[in-house]
Structure 1
């Protein structure tokens, strides 16, 4: 009975992770596929998980709740860099004026517009290009050695680390969006001067088309730098997860 209980607990941790981790957390990703991926990861992680004694029904319920919460926490932390990229895209959309054309995007589960989606999918491409999905699986294997089944205990250092990660996510979002926002602020400054000099011009209509065109040109010019920035910071996804797991030691 104990091996079956251990398998169920491993599956609960991994399925909770898959539901919230990058890419698989999208609403249009089939639920059945998430379950299959969770089962495949369970088979992969089963040899690394330490054995547990047979549990009563009450203790099994407590352990399941612990494993689900721990898996959700790992999945959410692995999503932080992606969330920072989405925020950067939304900041740019707001400055360009695309926020007026926002619509609900079922893939991101948020109201998203052009640059928000562009940056998100660009980040996914870089994520797989750097082979980070394999390092993410390695971190999952590590979690069973450092945090055995049912031994999850929240510590002060864990909470402090999570708060620090949220602040780093916001810094990343601002850094990623700053060059584009500065360029668009300069456009606003020029348009303001034109409006004062030639009041007859419909500056609102001009600003929408001009800012859209300039934002696209600036985006293309900054694309190599954006890819370099993502390549530098996306490995933090795995590092954040590893630091979170090690905080339970």
Structure 2
């Protein structure tokens, strides 16, 4: 008959619980897996499966009762680390959504926003288009597998037993968050330039022929020019999204201070 001591049971529970908490935290906010359309049972089942594969290869964990104060502190730490990793993964998608919103604002379609239950938040038409395109590109590039790879490697550069520098991690995330605006501007730059030329043209026409009803012809013409530019630049935007997604996921270990 196999006899197990309470210390052994606590060690086995800790070896499974601590990584599971981090993985669940990542899956709750990560792109694709964190969308509202993914059932919670799927996330939990996938998290348990990954934990069973990852747990045996983890470094030795501290001998702590998961129900004690120290154990609960480690659980809270893993939640924070997991949310930080998931948030960092989602930043690039936020940049792409922001680029779509900027484009709609330039085209005059900023008012055509609707509630997106997948986010959940309000979303414009081009922002939704870019979000779907980015998701398809991400899946085509095996981005979901990259998320799992980054997640499993995170136990090497952010071990469970080690306490990360909260201030340094927060500072790094804020600095990387500033890049969101730069990436969004880079994606939306062709449309911004095209709309600037269009508006300047309307300004010249208004000065040359004041009798023109700019309001009547300006909006449909601006939308038409914007759609033409969007169609022409979509292949380039897709290639740019592909490079940005791969570079961003590959840079995550460096963002979190991995050596």
Q: TM-score, normalised by structure 2?
A: 0.88
Aligned residue runs from structure 1 range 30-109, under 5 A? 30-56=39-65, 57-109=68-120
Structure 1 window deviating more from structure 2 (72-81 vs 33-42): it is 33-42
Alignment-derived partner of residue 125 in structure 1: 136
Of 193, 203, 209 in structure 1, the residue corresponding to residue 220 of structure 2 is: 209
In 2, the alpha carbon distance for the partners of 1:55 and 1:228 equals: 48
Aligned residue runs from structure 1 range 204-243, under 5 A? 204-243=215-254
Provide, for residues 51-88 of structure 1, a one-character-per-residue CA deviation record: whole Å limited to 9, x for no partner. 32431311111010000000000000011111111111
The runs of 5 or more residues in structure 1 that have no matched partner are: none
In 2, the alpha carbon distance for the partners of 1:136 and 1:11 equals: 15
In 1, the alpha carbon distance for the partners of 2:216 and 2:60 equals: 67
Larger RCO (alpha carbons 8 Å, 6+ apart): 1
In 2, the alpha carbon distance for the partners of 1:114 and 1:66 equals: 38
SS in structure 1 of the partner of residue 111 of structure 2? helix
Alignment-derived partner of residue 3 in structure 2: none
- The answer to whether structure 1 residue 174 and structure 2 residue 171 are counterparts is no
Q: CA deviation at 1:202?
A: 2.8
In 2, the alpha carbon distance for the partners of 1:85 and 1:155 equals: 28
The runs of 5 or more residues in structure 2 that have no matched partner are: 1-9
Task: Report if the CA contact (8 A) 1:92-1:115 is conserved.
Answer: yes
Q: TM-score, normalised by structure 1?
A: 0.91
SS in structure 2 of the partner of residue 112 of structure 1? strand
In 2, the alpha carbon distance for the partners of 1:156 and 1:176 equals: 31
Higher Cα Rg, which structure: 2
Summarize the Cα distance change of 1:63–1:16 in structure 2 as closer, same or farther, 3 Å threshold.
same
Runs of 4 or more above 4 Å deviation = none
CA RMSD of aligned residues (A): 1.9
Task: Report if the CA contact (8 A) 1:80-1:237 is conserved.
Answer: no
In 2, the alpha carbon distance for the partners of 1:176 and 1:106 equals: 25
Summarize the Cα distance change of 1:164–1:236 in structure 2 as closer, same or farther, 3 Å threshold.
farther
Summarize the Cα distance change of 1:107–1:205 in structure 2 as closer, same or farther, 3 Å threshold.
farther
Of 127, 137, 144 in structure 2, the residue corresponding to residue 116 of structure 1 is: 127
